Amino acid sequence: MNKEVLGLLALGLWSLMSFVFSSCETEQLETKDPRPKTKDQRPKTNQTMTNLTFGIIKPDAVRAGKTGSIIQRILDADFQIRGLKLIHMTRQEAEGFYDVHRERPFFAGLTEFMSSGPCLVMALEKEGAVKAWRDLMGATDPANADEGTLRKAFGATVGENATHGSDSEENAAIEISYFFSKLELV
C-alpha cells in the first residue's frame, strides 16, 4: 500500500470519526435543552376541565354595548377568565355549534341571530362552573329569569337572551374546544 492510499484512508477515517462525534454532541445538546420542541412536549396544565364552563356574550348584548358590564359581573362573581375572544360566526359555524337543536322550530332563527354580528366566546373557571354560570345567567326566557341574573338584566326575548352557557361539564369541554385551541387557553 503506497503513501497516497494510506493518506486517503486516514482522511476518510478522520471524516467518519468527526461526523459520528459531532452528531453525538448535537444529540447531547438536544437532550440537555429543556425548552419544548413541539406543542405536545409542553407541560400539561394541572387544571382539569372539571371547573370550567363555556359562555357566550351573544350578538344582541355585544350590539347593545353590554360586553363590559357583563364581564364585570363575571369577575364580581369570582370567575377566572381562562379564554376570551371576539368572533363573528358564519351561519354554518352557528349551525354546527347548535347542532343538538337542529330539529327544533327555532333553529333557523337561532342560527341567523347567532351569526348576525360579533359575539364574545369565553372559557370560565370556578368551582362548580357549569351551574354557577347558569345561575348567573338565569332562565332561558328573560321573562322567567330571576332578579339579579344576566338574562333578566340584558336579555330581551327567549331568542335574544344575551348569554349562552353550557349545560354539563361534558358539553363545556366540547364547546370550549369548538372555539378555542389549546394555545388560546391559559
Out of 89, 110, 145, 162, which residue is the one contacting ligand DAT (CB under 6 A)?
110
The maximal CA–CA distance of the chain, rounded, in angstroms, is 102
CB of 164 to Mg ion, least distance (A): 7
Q: Report d(CA 72, CA 50) in Å as an integer.
A: 23
3-state secondary structure 66-121: CHHHHHHHHHHCCCEEEEEEEECCCHHHHHHHCHHHCCCCCHHHHHHHHCCCCEEE
125: β partners: 52, 80
| Options 36-44, 47-55, 81-89, 161-169: segment touching Mg ion (CB under 5 A) | 161-169
Residue 167 binding ligand DAT, by CB under 6 A = yes
In the complex, minimum distance from the CB of residue 125 to ligand DAT, in angstroms, rounded to a whole number: 20
Q: Tell me phi and psi for residue 160, to 5 degrees.
A: -110, 85
Q: Which residues pair with 56 in a beta bridge?
A: 121, 164
Q: How far is the CB of 23 from Mg ion (least distance, A)?
A: 57
Tell me how many residues contact ligand DAT (CB under 6 A): 9
The phi-psi region of residue 67 (left if phi > 0; otherwise alpha if psi is between -120 and 50; otherwise beta) is alpha
Query: Does 53 participate in binding ligand DAT (rule CB under 6 A)?
Result: no
Per CB under 6 A, the segment of 15-23, 47-55, 89-97, 157-165 that binds ligand DAT is: 157-165
Is residue 53 within 8 A of residue 166, CB to CB? The reply is yes
Q: Least distance (Å) from ligand DAT to the CB of residue 127?
A: 21
At 1 the three-state DSSP class reads: coil
Residue with Cβ nearer Mg ion (83 or 165): 165
Grid cell, residue 177, equals 374546544
State the residue for C-alpha cell 348569554. 163
136-155 footprint of ligand DAT as x/- string (CB under 6 A): ----x---------------
Per CB under 6 A, which region of 37-45, 66-74, 82-90, 161-169 contacts ligand DAT?
161-169
Contacts with Mg ion, residue ranges (CB under 5 A): 167
Contacts with ligand DAT, residue ranges (CB under 6 A): 101, 106, 110, 140, 158-159, 161, 164, 167
